[in-house]
Amino acid sequence: MSGLFDDAALPTQAPPPDPAVAAPAGYRVLARKYRPQSFADLIGQETMVRTLRNAFAQDRVAHAFMLTGVRGVGKTTTARIIARALNCTGPDGTGGPTADPCGVCANCVAILADRHPDVVEMDAASRTGVDDVREIIEATRFRPLQARTKVFVIDEVHMLSRNAFNALLKTLEEPPGHVKFVFATTELRKVPVTVLSRCQRFDLRRVPAALLAERFARVAAAEGIAAEDAALTLLARAADGSVRDGLSLLDQAMAELPAGGTVTAASVAGMLGLADREAVFDLLEAVLGGDVAAALALTDRAHEHGADLGMVLQDLLDLLHTLSRLKAVPALRQDPALPEAERQRGTALADRIPMAALARAWQMLLKGLSEVESAPDRRAAAEMVLIRLCYAADLPPPGELVRRLGRSDGVPSEPGPPGSAPARPDAPPEIASVAIGNTQARVHPEVSPRPRLAGFRDVVALAAAEREALLHAHLLHAVHLVRFAPPVIELRPEPDAPRDLAARLAGLLQRVTGERWTIALTTAEGEPTLARQGEAADEARRDDASRHPLVRAILEAFPGARIDAVHDGTADAYGLPAATTTEAPGLEAEPGDQADANSEENAG
């Protein structure tokens, strides 16, 4: 993949000015001075360039283009190149549309100078209304004044209002033959699909950091400025794939230099508020080695040199990501784009640090960054994050901790089930995944209805499976089972239970089983509600778990730890142990006490 500027086409000075126009006074920034002038300059966008070249060669140029991509990758520049390609007449004034505009004919010169009457650029960020679009629609009715084709370039097109888009649709679908539209946007998802479907779309890619650094080196050489490779690499990383952003940063770095000076990595790091790359490696080694004093000394030094400690944490995150990639995919170590520091120290660190430690540090840093952004004192918050990381470096993984405590107490440790997740390293201590007989902590039961109605619990589960949410909630929390003897169920409802609960339950059972059920309502005490039984069973499991030697050892090793939840593998969806019957003892119901589903009086 390539950068934005072609090596052979990189200009060393500004294009010659039009004799008819006075030369602009003052310094031209690098982003304007080295803007690509033709498709030959646009490398890194090979798919788009190839398609457009073929379109011009075959005279199949679309009437509308949609250019999308992040800022500074060449969307507006491409639109202007398309406008010149459509209207170039060649040095002798007799040429037609071409993918290689000459740059010297009247149309090319006028478009380069942004003063051609038939190439109209509109910023949709400031002109969003339907009236602005109507002006464009009205202008499409008239033939070009000087050029072959009228070209309307609308930048940030996603900012247009809904009415403006609607007004544009008809003209966009069937424009006059002498009109072309070129749209540019950084927010493609905000453009209506009705507009996208009428355009030929091109996605401009980010430029890789290695190629940006190479390009910046050529620009610096063209400007007669010396620059260290490490400095250009820092600028390329900060540009994040945007050529314009990178050239603006290079411009700033050059402006800070004294006459005859060199752009150094230290000066760029100071300008960007970054820590030195070697210092980031030193800090990571200190943190993962648990050396609090060394870590704080490094942050003090970085702060004295003007580095933002929030950015230092971000640098640590980036380095952790790089080390994780190097550890997971060793072949990446041979990548020529890998900086020398990552190649040498990064490879050694990746070999030495376990993946579990890298993942734990990543999670803690990720959480710490959000704390830094919201803290009143960014430096203090960043240092607290690093201190936590240092102390966490000495902690064994949860699985190893369980094995150690199990051996020390003479209790054989039992592995958790496949797929059980360890506790987050940055979370408060809690029982994460401890197997005790048939129970395991922090594994929540799956709610799955049983196929047979062997007990009242199966009836309640059936209501959930049939998406009877309200009925299921009332049966779970507001009903006491007195007797279960299919096809008769005797219940005592709570006072707040609905009056038609018996009728609804009987109707559900009849619909699902095809049999007629009788729901009897009584004032007998019956069992506790299923919800209360589940709570009692969970409390009993917690008590049993807390008395287990292995759990006691963990609770003593981590003051303030707690048992979050205990899962009994033999329990059902309601946290109750499986039973062969759920029938409750009770008196046989009198005929007058039975509430038939078809009897409104008894159902109440």
Secondary structure of 15-63 in HEC code, one letter for each residue: CCCCCCCCCCCCCCCHHHHCCCCCHHHCCCCHHHHHHHHHHHHCCCCCC
Long-range residue pairs from 437-440, CB within 8 A, at least 24 positions apart, any chain: 438/568, 438/569, 438/570, 439/541, 439/544, 439/545, 439/566, 439/567, 439/568, 439/569, 440/416, 440/566, 440/567, 440/569
Confidence of residue 447 (pLDDT cuts 50, 70, 90): very low
Count of other CB atoms within 10 angstroms of residue 96: 12
What residue segments make up the domains of the chain, in order of their start? 45-203, 209-272, 277-392, 396-604
Judged against a pLDDT cut of 80, whether residue 1 lies above it is answered with: no
Cβ neighbours of residue 391 closer than 8 Å, sequence gap 6 or more: 290, 292
Judged against a pLDDT cut of 60, whether residue 599 lies above it is answered with: no
Confidence of residue 449 (pLDDT cuts 50, 70, 90): very low
CB 521 within 8 A of CB 595: yes
Mean pLDDT, the chain, rounded, equals 79
Nearest CA to 161 out of 201, 127, 196 is that of 127
| Distance in angstroms (rounded) separating the CA atoms of residues 61 and 118 | 18
Give the tokens for residue 52.
Answer: 């457009």
Check residues 553 and 250 and name the one with the higher pLDDT: 250
Phi (first) and psi of residue 130, to 5 degrees: -70, -30
Long-range residue pairs from 32-35, CB within 8 A, at least 24 positions apart, any chain: 34/5, 34/10, 34/219, 34/222, 34/247, 35/77
For residue 184, the surrounding DSSP H or E stretch is strand 179-185
**Residues of the chain above pLDDT 70, percent:** 80
CB 385 within 8 A of CB 364: yes
What mean pLDDT comes out for the span 244-258? 87
Give the tokens for residue 287.
Answer: 């943190």
Phi (first) and psi of residue 475, to 5 degrees: -65, -30
What pLDDT, on a 0 to 100 scale, did the predictor assign at position 175? 87
Count of other CB atoms within 10 angstroms of residue 145: 9
Residues paired with residue 441 on neighbouring β-strands, in sequence order: 566
Residues paired with residue 488 on neighbouring β-strands, in sequence order: 485, 518
| Distance in angstroms (rounded) separating the CA atoms of residues 32 and 247 | 9
| Distance in angstroms (rounded) separating the CA atoms of residues 543 and 412 | 20
Judged against a pLDDT cut of 60, whether residue 374 lies above it is answered with: yes
| Distance in angstroms (rounded) separating the CA atoms of residues 434 and 420 | 10
Torsion angle of C-alpha atoms 430, 432, 438, 443, degrees rounded to 10 = 110
What mean pLDDT comes out for the span 124-146? 88
**Which SS3 state, helix, strand or coil, does residue 425 take?**
coil
Confidence of residue 293 (pLDDT cuts 50, 70, 90): very high
Topology given in CATH for the domain delimited by 209-272? Helicase, Ruva Protein; domain 3 (1.10.8)
Judged against a pLDDT cut of 90, whether residue 128 lies above it is answered with: no
Confidence of residue 557 (pLDDT cuts 50, 70, 90): confident
Q: pLDDT for 515-525, tens place per residue? A: 889 998 888 88
| Distance in angstroms (rounded) separating the CA atoms of residues 524 and 590 | 12
What pLDDT, on a 0 to 100 scale, did the predictor assign at position 414? 45
Q: For 45-203, CATH number? A: 3.40.50.300
Count of other CB atoms within 10 angstroms of residue 224: 9
Nearest CA to 43 out of 70, 66, 77, 16 is that of 77
Q: pTM of the predicted model, to two decimals?
A: 0.54
Q: pLDDT for 222-231, tens place per residue? A: 888 899 888 8
What pLDDT, on a 0 to 100 scale, did the predictor assign at position 406? 58
Judged against a pLDDT cut of 50, whether residue 435 lies above it is answered with: no
What mean pLDDT comes out for the span 50-74? 91
Q: pLDDT for 304-348, tens place per residue? A: 877 788 888 998 998 999 899 998 988 888 876 677 677 778 888
Judged against a pLDDT cut of 90, whether residue 436 lies above it is answered with: no
Q: For 277-392, CATH number? A: 1.20.272.10
Q: pLDDT for 199-242, tens place per residue? A: 999 998 888 888 888 888 888 988 888 998 888 888 888 887 88
Cβ neighbours of residue 245 closer than 8 Å, sequence gap 6 or more: 71, 72, 238, 239
What mean pLDDT comes out for the span 396-419? 53
Give the tokens for residue 598.
Answer: 């078809």
Confidence of residue 492 (pLDDT cuts 50, 70, 90): very high
Give the tokens for residue 514.
Answer: 């095809």
**Residues of the chain above pLDDT 90, percent:** 21
CA angle 275, 278, 281 (to 5 degrees): 95
Phi (first) and psi of residue 520, to 5 degrees: -100, 130
My answer on whether omega of the bond before 445 falls inside 30° of 0, hence cis, is no
CA angle 60, 61, 65 (to 5 degrees): 140
| Distance in angstroms (rounded) separating the CA atoms of residues 298 and 112 | 51
Q: What strands, in cross-sheet order, belong to the sheet with 179-185?
A: 119-123, 150-155, 179-185, 64-68, 200-203
